[in-house]
Amino acid sequence: VIPAVFVCFLFMISCASLYFNSLEPPEGTYRIRTIENLPYREIWKGFVFNGEKVGFTHMKISPIPGSDNFLIASQAHLRFLFLGMDKHIALKREDTVRSDLTLISFHYEQQMDKEPLRIDGDIVDGTFRFIQESNGRKKTVEKELNDALYPLSVINLYPVIKGMTIGSKYRYKVFDPQTQAIAPVTQSVTAFETSKEMDVEPSFKVETTLLGHGVSTWINLHGKAIFEIGMGGVLITYKEDEDRARNYLLEAGLNKKDLILDFSCVKTGTTLPCPRETTFLEISLEGVSGVLPILQGPGQEAFVNRNGDADSAMYRITSDAVSLPRARGGVLTKKEHYLYLAPTMHLESNDPEIKKTAADVTSTARTPLEQVRKLTHWVSESIRDEAVDSTSAVDVLHDRRGECQAHSMLYTAMARALGIPTKLAGGLVYMEGIGFLFHNWAESYIDGWIAVDPTFNQVGIDATHIKLVESPFWISILDLGKVVGKIKAEIIDYQATCGDEANH
């Protein structure tokens, strides 16, 4: 059962500050000098998405006998309906840390749809080494460290150990196992507040930014994070007891709302009857300007429309399929050429299997454009479109299933393996009978950029693709999360080739 406060949560969150009262902070700096002195050893939290409870988290801190180190064991269980399927995600992590929270070693497991993803790592003599195992395959990564590294699990402990007073700021690096990235964390203490409505006792408010996303956390005078808000109020966690947390998984089957689809879908007043045959689209988007860059090409022209207090981004998109192979774009610099060909953790273009498969698929192609067409067709036909998690191009090649992200990762790695500079793109695409959904595709450079959608088998994509992000790196596509659930769209004009009734 969700606490009554969340029944009206979505109405409240836009003015959440009205429900928190500022207090005079404690004198001096509040600090618990080491993890050993924390007055608690575990914490349970409920997890709410868009006003519906979807799971729980748990963290337990235990001293390791015979040493000055500690084991932080954390877990999260989420269950929700997604595209009509009952999804259950289980995350588990065990971090061995020193009393100052610096990382010594860790074990991480993620279970979703298929065999678990496991990552084990440690730091020895300044070298961070971890082994990723998925579906019986192992991959080893080593990185030299110049700074101290912390586990993701200590983000809400770090301000407590370092000391909190209003105005305190912190910056340090953590390892995020879900993205396999070492990323900087920035934090600041902005207020000392309480809230009767949110059941928050007098607490320091800490603003945290990681991988471009922000979270507000309230940490009480026992050093415990008791309330958190993320994604502008869409994601929250709150303290609760163990029984209520665990019972949720038994009750979750009663929740029939397709939460992710309901939240992320961008509806419009105009219906597009044949989106894959749309050749022109003019559309206005609110909620993008000032949050994401306004991107151009291929086939996309965009600008910001100033209209009082609400700026909108205007996009005019023409399907670039009609102009192939006359792709437009300037000459790549040496740096760009390197970035769009380089192998990465998620796009293993130097992997022998990726290289061999790409060469086999395109063995009869005579030009780079023919290679792109054959790769796109092969990925579209060979990778089953299923809502399962994918961590890298090699995983997709072996599993032969995945969502648009999986199709795009595999295509990008294979194109790079053939020496074709390729980047990832993401944004919105129109799905008939649903509306605009968030989607990933790719762009390859052949005397200019051409857009490629290996999910829909398109070389030269239809005009319902609205590009909001682009990058040579998979992790940068996560910036789409900044606008999920916040976009409003109005179709101004469109043209399609599926009949006169579709032309406006």
Cα–Cα distance list, 305 to 205, 299, 401 (Å): 35, 19, 40
**How does pLDDT run along the chain (504 residues), one tens digit per residue?**
333 333 333 333 334 455 789 999 999 999 998 899 999 999 999 888 777 778 889 999 999 999 999 999 999 888 776 655 667 788 999 999 999 999 999 999 988 766 688 999 999 999 999 998 887 788 898 999 999 999 999 999 999 999 999 999 999 999 998 888 899 999 999 999 999 878 899 999 999 999 888 899 999 999 999 999 887 667 888 888 887 776 765 555 445 566 667 777 899 989 998 999 999 999 999 999 989 999 998 999 999 987 756 678 999 999 876 556 554 556 899 999 999 999 998 899 999 999 999 999 999 999 999 999 999 999 999 998 877 767 789 989 988 888 898 999 999 999 999 999 999 999 999 998 889 999 999 999 998 899 999 999 999 999 999 999 999 998 878 888 888 888 999 999 999 988 555 556
DSSP secondary structure code for residue 405 in this structure: H
Q: Which amino acid is at 141?
A: V
Nearest-CA neighbor of 45 among 213, 235, 232, 207? 235
Q: Which amino acid is at 176?
A: D
Q: Is 481 helix (H, G, I), strand (E, B) or coil?
A: helix
CB atoms within 10 A of CB 196: 11
Residues 280, 494 contacting (CB under 8 angstroms): yes
Q: What is the pTM of this model?
A: 0.77
Beta bridge partners of 300: 317
Residues 489, 412 contacting (CB under 8 angstroms): no
Question: Is residue 53 within a helix (H) or strand (E), and if so which, with residue range?
Answer: strand 52-63
Q: Is 399 helix (H, G, I), strand (E, B) or coil?
A: helix
pLDDT tens digits for 390-443? Answer: 778 998 998 888 889 899 999 999 999 999 999 999 999 999 888 999 999 999
